[in-house]
A and B are shown apart, each in its own frame.
Chain A
Amino acid sequence: MRSLVGGALVAVFMAGCGANVTLDPVTIPAPLINPMPLSVAIRIPAEFEHYVHEDEVLGREKWRIDLGRSNAALFTQLFEFMFDDVTVLGPDDDASALSIDALIEPSIDAFEFSVPSQSKTEAYAVWIRYRLKIYDSGGTVYANWPLSAYGKSERFGLTGDEPLKRAAILAMRDAAALMIMNLDKSTAISALKDRPAVTVASSQSAGAAAQEEPPREKRPQLPKRREVALPPPGPVAGPAVLSMDGNEDESGENIPEGSSND
């Protein structure tokens, strides 16, 4: 009994001192959607698979949030639900031998959170800003879509670990819901179905191709290519980025602001 009381007191004192939070791989329910008839590969960058966020709240509470494999697990499950055929690639895997319509590479642009001592509420909140880069079968960046997800959990338990985990999981579910609703609307990925491979002759042509409006209408069915030339793993060289920022407001995102941890 005495040890229980002691443990509770330690937990209460520790609650104001930050914490180490490690997320377990997230699972999402099977969504009620019709999968898109596309064959895609998803490449999980190393930093995406082992994302760790460290922050000091109000100069006092040190927080270390290890998202671990949760993001990779989420995106893998989600895309398996969203597309007819999905190949998961590691950071160093070569996609050039695959017969696919598109390659998707997710990343995290920013991670922020707030705790009750900051927000003066009873809530823990998490914001995650993801970025999806979509490459066409020619290896050109076809779309570049940033998306913001938000999760909030009220305070429960003796420490902030569990509510913060819950908020992070809800933010990931929010991202999944947003991608289900708006991935095609924001990136026109479905137009890549059976699109013929285009050899990128130079960075100039690649840039020009990427700056064009992505095709919105389905092209005539062409014989499926035998080989694709996809870019090597890692950052893509050149200016071939089609920013979808302008569409973000149309995407139905409704993310509260004021997420600074200062």
Chain B
Amino acid sequence: MTKATYRSGTMLTAGFAALVLSGCITSRVEDAREGITGIEAGEAIVILAKSYHLGNETEDKYIRCIEDALSRGSRGLRVIPHRQFVDSLFPWFEPRTAPAETAGLPKLMQRPGVADRIAEQNVRYIVWLDGDTDRVAGGGSLSCAAGPGGGGCFGFAWWQNDADYNAAVWDLKGLDSAGSVTADVSGTSFLPALVVPIPLIARARAAACKGLADQLRDFIVDEPEV
């Protein structure tokens, strides 16, 4: 067996294991367009979480995941890191002060330095993320024991995570809403154990990140189908 064949075999095995060892995931990603989109070379987007003052609990790692997913690859967009953007426009995108709807954009742009700072960074779209990942159900029983001769686990546990996110896209060129993209992902993970626990994890948040980012890229870049 050559080295290349061996490596390929290992990758196949790893891929198969990943496939077998993952839980069940169902996902639905949709968009609702309100206007024509498109992005020119050099224009950037920013991904922000809606204010936690309004009860939103979007995780920081989810924002970073979307940022990474959108900026990667040959179709990658220019994404400005959210903290850099918020700092550059302090205090107008703090949780307390950020505009809650597009009607607040004209007033925001009139504040000293705001329009210039946005123009310097060439930001075309702001994407507001809302939502989070929650454990909605779970059950089963699993017990582990260890002694001088060894240890082991026995039982079966499962849990279900729901990742529901909404991305509202604001077009800073027209100071208007361009539409929104939603991702609803449900993942059920299993943990059977017969001496050794075998986790079958459904990564609902990761699936919601990939699904939302792919759809968001298409939404922003592509013209609507006629």
> Taking beta carbons and an 8 Å cutoff, which residues of A are in contact with B?
28-34, 121, 123, 150, 152, 154, 156, 170, 173-174, 176-178, 180-181, 252-256
B96 with A174: CB separation less than 8 A = yes
The yes or no answer to B43 lying at the interface (CB within 8 A) is: no
A256 with B112: CB separation less than 8 A = no
Q: Smallest Cβ distance from A123 to chain B, in angstroms?
A: 7
A32 with B96: CB separation less than 8 A = no
> Taking beta carbons and an 8 Å cutoff, which residues of B are in contact with A?
52-55, 57, 59-60, 87-92, 94-97, 111-114, 117
Q: Which residue of the partner chain, among A34, A156, A177, contacts B91 with CB atoms under 8 Å?
A: A177
**Which A-chain residue is minimally distant from B95 (CB atoms)?**
A174
What residues of chain B lie closer than 8 Å to A121, measured between beta carbons? 57
Interface of B is mostly: loop
What residues of chain B lie closer than 8 Å to A123, measured between beta carbons? 57
What residues of chain A lie closer than 8 Å to B96, measured between beta carbons? 174, 177-178, 181, 252-254
Q: Which residue of the partner chain, among B112, B114, B117, contacts A34 with CB atoms under 8 Å?
A: B112
Q: Smallest Cβ distance from B73 to chain A, in angstroms?
A: 27
- Name the residue in B52, B57, B87 with the highest tally of chain A Cβ atoms < 10 Å from its Cβ: B52
CA distance A253 to B91 in the complex (A): 15
B88 with A177: CB separation less than 8 A = no
**Which A-chain residue is minimally distant from B91 (CB atoms)?**
A177
B53 with A254: CB separation less than 8 A = yes
B94 with A174: CB separation less than 8 A = yes
**Which B-chain residue is minimally distant from A166 (CB atoms)?**
B60
What residues of chain B lie closer than 8 Å to A174, measured between beta carbons? 94-96
B88 with A152: CB separation less than 8 A = no
CA distance A31 to B89 in the complex (A): 7
Q: Smallest Cβ distance from B84 to chain A, in angstroms?
A: 10
B87 with A255: CB separation less than 8 A = no
A255 with B91: CB separation less than 8 A = no
Q: Which residue of the partner chain, among B52, B53, B57, B92, contacts A32 with CB atoms under 8 Å?
A: B92
CA distance A43 to B53 in the complex (A): 31
CA distance A177 to B53 in the complex (A): 13
Q: Smallest Cβ distance from A73 to chain B, in angstroms?
A: 16
**Which B-chain residue is minimally distant from A174 (CB atoms)?**
B96
- A123-B57, A256-B53 known; A29+B87 contact, CB < 8 A: yes
A32 with B113: CB separation less than 8 A = yes
- A29-B88, A29-B90 known; A150+B112 contact, CB < 8 A: no
CA distance A174 to B96 in the complex (A): 7
What residues of chain A lie closer than 8 Å to B88, measured between beta carbons? 29
B94 with A32: CB separation less than 8 A = no
What residues of chain A lie closer than 8 Å to B94, measured between beta carbons? 173-174, 177
CA distance A28 to B91 in the complex (A): 9
Q: Smallest Cβ distance from A101 to chain B, in angstroms?
A: 22
Listed from nearest, the 8 A-B pairs whose CB atoms lie closest are A177-B91, A32-B113, A29-B90, A177-B94, A29-B87, A254-B53, A152-B52, A177-B96
Q: Smallest Cβ distance from A109 to chain B, in angstroms?
A: 19
Q: Smallest Cβ distance from B202 to chain A, in angstroms?
A: 19
Please name 6 pairs of A and B residues whose Cβ atoms are closer than 8 Å in the assembled complex, sorted by A. A154-B60, A174-B94, A177-B94, A180-B91, A181-B91, A181-B96
A177 with B97: CB separation less than 8 A = yes
**Which A-chain residue is minimally distant from B52 (CB atoms)?**
A152
B53 with A255: CB separation less than 8 A = yes
Q: Smallest Cβ distance from B134 to chain A, in angstroms?
A: 10
B59 with A32: CB separation less than 8 A = no
CA distance A163 to B94 in the complex (A): 18
